[in-house]
Amino acid sequence: MSTIASLYAEATGWIFEHALQPLLYALELMDWAEDAYAWLDFALFGLFGIAVAWAVCRPLEAWRPVESVSQHGAVRTDMLYTFLNRLGVLPLLAFVFLASVQAAWEGWLTEAGLLPPTLEELAPLLRDHPVLAFAAYVVVLDFGEYWRHRAQHAFRWWWALHAIHHAQRQMTFWTDDRNHVLDDIIAAVWFGGIALLIGVPPGQFPAVVLILRLAESLSHANVRLDYGRLGERLLVSPRFHRLHHAPLSAGAHGRNYAVLLPIWDWIFGTGDFRRGVFPPTGAPEEPEALASGGWLRQQAIGLRRMVGAIGGR
């Protein structure tokens, strides 16, 4: 393990010293060096996440596909979404934006005589058990994701953006990142905001993202797979999430919103635990371009529909 950590440190150090830092120096942005170094983890974890998702999901999809892939163009569009999203451009913007917000927020708090908390302060047991602390952060963030997802379906303007994700009729593990850019930004602010509020250690943040992203990729995979009677209650499976993508589940009538832990759907009465059900996916009431159009077209339509929803049209 220490060898892997050393190799990773050497590799990131080399990339930073020979590529990123000279760029920062040339742009007179050396005061952002430490932030850029932290961001490098995001980008590398993003690439690593794609590689792991591919290595895990692709054999599964080949083994027991729910349906044969006939719309290759739509899958290619999803791949473009994935690379744009996970190479870290959006996380970088969110990171820079949130770092500034965090500074202002914490400055305001200290002026008011408060110090931002961490979960370890509220539960001292976590301080001595980093793995437990890490798990606690994952659970809290996953809970936040459940409610964000519900909001995406509940508000008309937000559904106008999120419908891009649901319009895919050829769902594969690449589909996870098929989102409107605005939707991604809101998600990053939401997720990062909660992370800052509960004080997720910056060093753990990429790992938390990696785990949630891998779970999401797997849950979108085109594979006839459920985790058994007990497992279905513990972890979101491809079956569980496919049901969420079924046409009858679109919009405000959604089921199975959880990202990692189905317990939230269980608690709040939105879970559908019927095993063996693998319905077709898509959102037939939405414009066809959201399913089969290119990236730019989908973005434009999503934006137009969101503005329309806000304007009451």
Partner 1 sequence: MMRRAQSALFFGLAGLLPALAVPSSARADLVYVLNSADASISVLESTTKEEVRRIPVLREAHHLILTPERGELMVGDSGGNELIFIDPATAEVTRREKFSNPYHMELSPDGKLLVVTSLRRDQVDIYDAATRTLLARLKVPDKPSHLAYTPDSRIAFVTLQGVRKLMAIDLVTYKPLWTAEVGPQPAGVTWHNGRLLVGVMGSDHVAVVNPADGKVERTIFAGRGAHTVFPSPDRKLLYVNSRVDSRITVLDGETLEPRAHWDLPGGPDCIAFDPRGRLWVTLRWTGRLAIVDPASGEWETVPVGRSPHGVFVQPRAAPLPPLAVSETAPPAEVTPSPTSAGTEVAVPAQQPAVWRRMLGR
Closest CA to 197 of 268, 102, 75: 102
When binding is defined by CB under 8 A, the residue of 122, 135, 154, 252 that contacts partner 1 is 122
Report if residue 288 touches partner 1, rule: CB under 8 A.
no
130 vs 308, which CB is nearer to partner 1?
130
When binding is defined by CB under 8 A, the residue of 87, 92, 93, 99 that contacts partner 1 is 99
Greatest CA span in the chain, whole angstroms?
61
Residue with tokens 């990696």: 210
Name 299's Cβ contacts closer than 8 Å, sequence gap at least 6: 180, 181
Q: How far is CA 58 from CA 9, 52, 77, 174, 218, in A?
A: 29, 10, 17, 10, 10
When binding is defined by CB under 8 A, the residue of 106, 139, 151, 207 that contacts partner 1 is 106
- Count residues binding partner 1 (CB under 8 A): 47
Q: In the window 21-40, what residues touch partner 1 (CB under 8 A)?
A: 21-22, 25, 28, 30-31, 33-34, 37-38
Q: Could you say which DSSP state residue 294 is in?
A: -
Label residue 215 left, alpha or beta by phi (over 0 means left) and psi (-120 to 50 means alpha). alpha
CB of 196 to partner 1, least distance (A): 10
User: What DSSP letter does each residue of 198-214 carry, written as one string?
Assistant: HT--TTTHHHHHHHHHH
CB of 121 to partner 1, least distance (A): 5
Q: In the window 175-214, what residues touch partner 1 (CB under 8 A)?
A: 199, 201-203
Q: Where on the chain is the footprint of partner 1 (CB under 8 A)? A: 2, 5-6, 9-10, 12-14, 16-17, 21-22, 25, 28, 30-31, 33-34, 37-38, 99, 102-103, 106-107, 109-118, 120-122, 124-125, 127-128, 130, 199, 201-203
